[in-house]
Structures are given as C-alpha cells and as structure tokens.
Amino acid sequence: MAWPPTVHGPAAYQKLRFLTSPIGLLESCARRHGDAFRLLLGRPGLFVFSRPDHVKAIYTADTEVLRAGEAKRAIFGRLLGGASSLLLDGEPHLRRRKLLLPQFKGERMAMYASRIAAETRAAIARMPVGQPFALLPIVQSLTLRVMLSALLGPEDASSAPLWRAMERFATDAASSRLLMAPALQWDLGPYSPWGRVQRVVRAANGAVESEIQRRRARPNEGRDLLDLLLSSSDEHGASLTDAEVKDEVLTLVVAGHEITSMVLTWLVHAVISRPEVQARIDGELEAIGEHDVGGLTYLDSVVRESMRFHSVVPIGSARLATEDTRIGEHDVPRGAMVNVAIHLLHRRPEIFERPDEFRPERFSVEPRVGPYEWAPFGGGARRCLGMSFALFELKLITATLFSRVALVGLERPRAVRRGAFVAPSGGLRVVVKRLRAARPGSSERRAA
Ligand code: HEM
C-alpha cells in the first residue's frame, strides 16, 4: 500500500510536539517528507495533507467515507448531545446544514450589527489606558458575549441566569483542557475537575431547555438566533425538535466564540505591529466610516491575510476514514484520521507569492484564491457554518476598536498552543496609548 511517508521517532514524542508545538512539528515534517505524511498518533495514524489537490479530495469526498462528525465525537461528544450538527454525518448532517445555513447569511447580519458594536464599545471601556494588559482575555469575553447576544438576545434581568449558565458552559466546560485528556475524565463529585465540567454541562442543558419551553409558550418574535432556530423548517416543512434546538444552541457556543477570539487577537497583532497597515486602515475608516463593514475592502483583505498568516488551527478539518480510500496518489486505510495541514497549505509559494511576508494586497487582486488554497474555515460540506458571521464580526469589531483606541504592542508574541488552538504568547500584551475621538457618523456623535 502507498501510504504517505511515516514520520519516524517515538509516538509519545510526536504527541508531545503535536500538543505543544504543532506549527514546529508540521514544518519539520514537511521539510523532511513533503506534502503528505503520517504521524504516529493513534492507529493506524494521523494522515496529514497540504497540497491543494489533496485538500480538494478531502473536502469533496463522500461524507460517509470521510466522516467529520465521528472524528469529533471523542472530544465534543462529552459536551454536546448526539443531535448536534457538529457530530452528525452523511444525510442527517446535510439536512441539518440546509436548515441552519440561511440563519448565517449576509442579510441576517444587520440584526446582529448593533449588538456586536455595543459589546465592542463595552469591551473598550474595560481596557485600562496607559497600563499594560493582555488583550486575549478581554477579547475572549467579548466574542462570547457577541455569540450569546446573537443567540439569546441582549442580556437583561430576566435572561441573566441563562447567560450565567452559558458563560460557565463556555469557560468551564467548552474551554476545559480536560477535553483533550480522556484519561483524566473521572467524575469524582462536584469538587473534582471533571465532575465540575459534567455539572456545568448538565446545568447549561437544563437552562437552555427551560428557555426553549418558555419561548414555545409565546409568539415567536424572530429577534435572535434561538427564535430563528425554533421557527426554521426545511422544504418538506420539517422543523427542529426541542432537543435538536438545544444541542444546536450549545454547539454554536462551543464552535463560535473561542476560536474567533484567537483569530481576533492575532489580527490586532498583525495590524498594530505594522504601521503601514494601521495607517491604511485608519485612512479607510476615515473615508468610509466604521459601520459600512461591506465598504471596508482593505480591512477585509487584512482579515483574510491575517487568517492566512496566523493559523489558529494549524492542523484541522479532521475526518475519520470509515473504509479504505485514496487521497490523490496515497492510500488511506480504514480507521485513519485524515487532517488538512492548514498552516502548510497557507504557506505554499506557488499559491501565495513570498508566503512568509504579510501582504494584504494579495487578497484584493483577481482572481481571488480558491477554496482549496485558503481554508481557515475548513471546507466542503463541513465548512464552518459561521463563516459569514465570523468575517462580519471580525471586521465590525476591528473597525469599532481602531476607530476608538490606538493600541501599542509590548512584545513580539510567539505562537503557543492554547487548548485546541494556537494563540499569541502572553495573550498579546498591549497598552492603550490614547483614546481616539469618535469619528463623524459614529453612534456616539449621532447620539450627541
Ligand atoms: C474566525 C473564526 C472561526 C474560524 C477560524 C472557524 C473555523 C472553523 C473550522 C476550521 C471548522 C471545521 C471545518 C471542517 O471540518 O472542514 C469549523 C466548523 C464549524 N464552525 Fe467555525 N470558525 C469560526 C467561527 C465560527 C462562528 C462564529 C460560528 C457560529 C456562529 C462557527 C460555527 C461552526 C460550526 C457550527 C461548525 C461545524 C460545521 C459542520 O460540521 O457542518 N464558527 N469552523
């Protein structure tokens, strides 16, 4: 069988590097073995691919043969019910996607825009002026609040208990490092680490169930994602059950906030460490204003280039091979875990000229890069469901942020592993040099 070349060396050492230094591991494997290789993680191994034709083969494969839901079950099955779209495969997954996707399309964004901008202004108000602080924790809380307000509506006295249950679910369960360590998952009561995670998950399920019952008993106002999920139906008139809605709410919290906070932190670093990029963004904001997200075309290119340059998920799009199959010239045996080395794909010089340089302009020239060349959101039938939402959110948050504060980076961060993701070391230490006056056309000016 022509498997991709095997990376030699002790499996335990490969696992350690995978967990502590995924980018370094990928780069050294690519130098030695080229575009595709097999890591000794699990049996028969983790098969890693980074050539666009291989990436295309993975993203367009039969979704029953290369299964994404099953690949994720070992980790996310502990958090989410079996009705979650993240864990479904084949036909049931495709049906669910059809139902969910319209809720994330561009025209829905207007509903979320004012909430995203308001949460960003509140986050800016929490930043100390003139004193160093780590940006990541502030941004993590911001993206979580954005996700919750899109899902559940703005926080008020009556929704506060639900918000608290969801915040605990996001921070104490979904972001728990124990998810990656099945050997430590022992429920030894409420004070044991895994026991606490289990109780937080149960409380979140209970809180969402009660909210669904409450909303079923009143007319649907269509004012947030939960209302939309409760009223959505497919072309045959089939709608989601209460259990399915609950699992989707929890899925969106798991999938939709932490990764966005890491991307956002890298994006801020990419801008504030390059005066010429910051100056062009400032100029665009001056000319267009912070609210016309669609008109901020340079910022759009900066966001895409930052996601190319800094891979928060350097190895992603996990698929489990349920039968022997082929990817390009390589055989892949049943039971193998197949992954895309997104970091290596994004550094290929034949796609991205001088790939180690940060050049937003490459995203403003036609033809734009293809779906198997730029893949921070994965691809195919499993491409990130929240992609439009995330891009809109990233642009609106940075437009609001850079319109109001001048940030200075205090160090050159390293890329370090944080749970499932790669983030800037130290959470990106920054200082607010000065607050900027609100621009003409901004909400404060209009309110004045
Ligand atoms: C910049 C931020 C984000 C990045 C980089 C990102 C990236 C990804 C990636 C790599 C996948 C896996 C794709 C694959 O397996 O091929 C994914 C899946 C998913 N993402 Fe995102 N994501 C982001 C934000 C969001 C947001 C804001 C939401 C929700 C509003 C979201 C919801 C989902 C869901 C539900 C899936 C599962 C899709 C499926 O299995 O069909 N993501 N995302």
DSSP sequence for 25-50: HHHHHHHHH-SEEEE-SSSS-EEEE-
Contact status, residue 23 vs residue 313, Cβ threshold 8 Å: no
- Going from the Cα of 433 to the center of ligand 1, the distance in angstroms, rounded, reads 34
Lowest mean pLDDT among 74-83, 280-289, 423-432: 74-83
Rounded CA separation 406/414 (Å): 22
Please provide residue 407's backbone torsions phi and psi, each rounded to the nearest 5 degrees. -100, 145
Which sign, positive or negative, has the C-alpha torsion 443, 398, 318, 41? negative
Q: For 152-181, how does the pLDDT look when each residue is reduced to its tens digit (9 = 90+)?
A: 998 999 999 999 999 999 999 998 888 888
Give the position, in ligand 1's atom list, of the atom nearest the Cα of 319: 15
Residues framing ligand 1 (Cβ under 6 A): 68, 85-86, 97, 251-252, 255-256, 259-260, 263, 312-313, 316-317, 376-379, 382-386, 389-390
Sequence-separated (6 or more) residues with CB below 8 Å from residue 181: none
pLDDT at 419: 84
Pocket test for ligand 1, best of 95, 377, 398 (most atoms within 8 A of CB): 377
Identify the band that residue 1 occupies on the pLDDT scale cut at 50, 70 and 90: low
**What tokens appear for 60 in the block?**
């367009």
Rounded CA separation 339/110 (Å): 35
Number of other CB atoms surrounding residue 273 within 10 Å: 15
**Burial level of 350, CB count in 10 A (0-12/13-18/19+)?**
exposed
Q: For 366-388, how does the pLDDT look when each residue is reduced to its tens digit (9 = 90+)?
A: 778 999 999 999 999 999 999 99
Number of other CB atoms surrounding residue 237 within 10 Å: 6
Cis amide linkage into residue 367, ω under 30° from 0: yes
The tally of CA atoms less than 13 A away on the side-chain side of residue 130 is 0
pLDDT at 305 over 50: yes
- Going from the Cα of 383 to the center of ligand 1, the distance in angstroms, rounded, reads 7
Whether the predicted model's global pTM rises above the 0.75 cut: yes
- Going from the Cα of 238 to the center of ligand 1, the distance in angstroms, rounded, reads 25
Rounded CA separation 249/226 (Å): 7
- Which residue's alpha carbon is at the smallest distance from atom 39 of ligand 1? 382
Looking up tokens 């969106």 gives: 252
Which sign, positive or negative, has the C-alpha torsion 429, 433, 434, 436? negative
- Which residue's alpha carbon is at the smallest distance from atom 15 of ligand 1? 317
Which sign, positive or negative, has the C-alpha torsion 83, 106, 67, 38? negative
Contact status, residue 249 vs residue 256, Cβ threshold 8 Å: no
